[in-house]
């Protein structure tokens, strides 16, 4: 039996404590239900090293011009409690005092299991220092030295309406309604304090952080995530993903930086490109995912291999430019999703691509890679970065009395 919101709602709304006790006793999580729930609390926020779920709902918010520091603290406390409940498959907590008021939970996920829901929050640079230089919330002195808006980078033509934000929420679940429900309810609970700035829905994971289910494919049809950091690789996570206590901002220790990039793919020309060129662009075979110098997906690429026409993995191939071997050991944890927002009315072409999400210990890791990729990658003929966000994700919460951002605000 799965622990679902409907059962919890029935239990809580039942006739008094006896009814609630009965209903809850009747739906103790079975092994199947338990595996459907990702622990909310822990040293790191869930949704980073967690095995990637199938669906994404992402929203970036601006803080309302009237909001004060204490409003932010109150909202983050409310958000944390709501997020913790939703990740258990429960509705947003709170009674609905009267049918003359809106219900405590919007209800569309009622009856659905949690689907491994994780909700991950991050703070944008503007929360610390506004664009006009003001320190609205007394946080400027707490801004890590490494944390500033991303510089202009090659390969981008950014839409301001799909970039930035003072706070970002990444909700991931195997069920799209559950992921949407999570950001919808946080948006609703944040009313008056934050205003949604931009959002994206992702419909297919494009990176794996674990071996279960095999490597997924992106919209270009290639396996994506083969050489990604695995969520179980504590050494790599510690070296490349988690901010360490000594990195310069104590409050962010155990947290991570999130880079979000809306990367439009020019799908129609890509679909007309011949297979051998598609494979040369990435430096990998399309069907197997193997490097062009190997046979199996997980063979290590040989960047020194040459044949009669030159390097087997071309100088401008995506994996050559991005690989740790060719970047002084630099790595990031990719956790992106495919997206589509219908047809681009200006051109009649598909508005679709990769919603690139990557976590790292220092934003410089992304800047270094994108400077190289944005200027040299053979893939650039078929993609353009059109949206961008950078967020500092605080560490995880320790227990029921803790809340997102406590280490920053207190």
Our finding on whether 80 is near ligand HEM (CB under 6 A) is: no
* Least gap, CB of 283 to ligand HEM (angstroms): 8
Q: Which backbone phi and psi does 135 adopt, to 5 degrees?
A: -105, 80
Q: Cα–Cα distance between 106 and 288 in angstroms, integer?
A: 44
Q: Residue 151, exposed/middle/buried by CB under 10 A (0-12, 13-18, 19+)? A: exposed
Q: What mask, x for binding ligand HEM by CB under 6 A, covers residues 321 to 350?
A: -xxx-------x------------------
- Minimum distance between the CB of residue 321 and ligand HEM, rounded to whole angstroms? 8
Give the x-and-dash track for 266-285 against ligand HEM (CB under 6 A). ----------------x-x-
Among 80, 185, 228, 256, binds ligand HEM (CB under 6 A): 228
CB-nearer residue toward ligand HEM: 24 or 266: 266
**Of the candidate residues 118, 173, 185, 370, the single one contacting ligand HEM (CB under 6 A):** 370
Q: How far is the CB of 224 from ligand HEM (least distance, A)?
A: 4
SS3 71: helix
Strand partners, 204: 338
What DSSP element (H or E) covers 24?
Answer: helix 16-25
Cα–chain-centroid distance for residue 380?
23
Q: Using the minimum distance from each CB to ligand HEM, give the nearer residue, 38 or 378.
A: 378
Q: Which residue of 262, 318, 361, 406 would you call a contact of ligand HEM, by CB under 6 A?
A: 318
* Closest to ligand HEM by CB, 195 or 324: 324
* Closest distance to ligand HEM from the beta carbon of 356 (Å): 5
Q: How far is the CB of 307 from ligand HEM (least distance, A)?
A: 20
**Residue 178 or 265 having the CB closest to ligand HEM:** 265
Residue 251 DSSP class? G
SS (H, E, C) 116-154: CCEEEEEECHHHCCCCCCCCCCCCHHHCCCCCCCCCCCC
Task: Indicate the residue among 84 and 224 with the shorter CB distance to ligand HEM.
Answer: 224
Among 114, 150, 317, 373, binds ligand HEM (CB under 6 A): 373
Q: Distance between CA atoms of 203 and 55, rounded to whole angstroms?
A: 5
Residue 260 lies near ligand HEM (rule: CB under 6 A):
no
Q: Give the Cα separation of 105 and 112 in Å (integer).
A: 14
DSSP per-residue string spanning 87-121:
HTTPPPSS----TTS--SS--TTTT---TT-EEEE
What are the φ/ψ torsions at residue 58 (nearest 5 degrees)? -120, 135
Which helix (H) or strand (E) segment holds residue 236: the answer is helix 234-240
CB 385, min distance to ligand HEM, A: 7
Among 117, 383, 390, 393, binds ligand HEM (CB under 6 A): 383
Number of residues this chain uses to bind ligand HEM (CB under 6 A): 28
Chain centre distance of CA 75: 21
Residues engaged in binding ligand HEM (CB under 6 A) = 218, 220, 222-228, 261, 263, 265, 282, 284, 318-319, 322-324, 332, 353-354, 356, 366, 369-370, 373, 383
């Amino acid at each position: 039996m799965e622990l679902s919101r409907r059962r919890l709602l029935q239990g809580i709304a039942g006739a008094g404590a006896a009814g609630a006790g009965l209903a809850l006793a009747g739906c103790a999580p079975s092994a199947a239900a338990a595996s459907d729930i990702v622990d909310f609390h822990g040293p790191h926020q869930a949704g980073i090293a967690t095995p990637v779920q199938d669906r994404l709902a992402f929203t970036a918010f601006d803080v309302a011009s009237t909001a004060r520091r204490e409003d932010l603290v109150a909202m983050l406390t409310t958000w944390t409690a709501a997020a913790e409940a939703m990740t258990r498959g429960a509705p947003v907590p709170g009674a609905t005092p009267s049918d003359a008021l809106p219900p405590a939970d919007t209800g569309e996920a009622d009856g659905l299991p949690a689907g491994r829901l994780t909700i991950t929050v991050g703070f944008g640079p503007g929360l610390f220092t506004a664009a006009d230089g003001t320190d609205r919330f007394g946080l400027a002195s707490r801004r890590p030295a490494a944390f500033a808006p991303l510089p202009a980078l090659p390969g981008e033509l950014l839409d301001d309406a799909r970039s930035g934000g003072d706070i970002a929420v990444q909700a991931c679940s195997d069920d799209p309604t559950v992921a949407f429900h999570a950001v919808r309810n946080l948006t609703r609970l944040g009313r008056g304090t934050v205003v949604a700035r931009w959002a994206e829905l992702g419909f297919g994971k494009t990176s794996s952080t674990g071996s279960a289910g095999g490597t997924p494919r992106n919209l270009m049809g290639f396996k994506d995530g083969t050489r990604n950091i695995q969520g179980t690789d504590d050494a790599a996570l510690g070296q490349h993903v988690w901010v360490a206590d000594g990195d310069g901002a104590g409050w962010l220790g155990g947290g991570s930086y999130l880079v979000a990039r809306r990367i439009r793919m020019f799908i129609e020309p890509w679909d007309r490109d011949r297979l051998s060129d598609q494979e040369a662009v990435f430096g990998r075979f399309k069907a197997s995912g193997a490097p062009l110098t190997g046979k199996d997906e997980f063979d290590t690429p040989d960047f020194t291999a040459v044949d009669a026409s030159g390097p087997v993995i071309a100088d401008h191939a995506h994996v050559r430019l991005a690989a740790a071997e060719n970047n002084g050991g630099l790595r990031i944890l990719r956790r992106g999703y495919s997206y589509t927002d219908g047809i681009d009315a200006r051109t009649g072409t598909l508005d679709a691509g990769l919603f690139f999400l990557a976590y790292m210990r220092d934003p410089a890791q992304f800047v270094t890679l994108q400077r190289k990729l944005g200027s040299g990658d053979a893939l650039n003929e078929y993609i353009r970065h059109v949206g961008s966000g950078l967020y500092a994700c605080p560490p995880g919460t320790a227990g029921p009395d803790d809340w997102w951002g406590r280490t920053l605000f207190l």
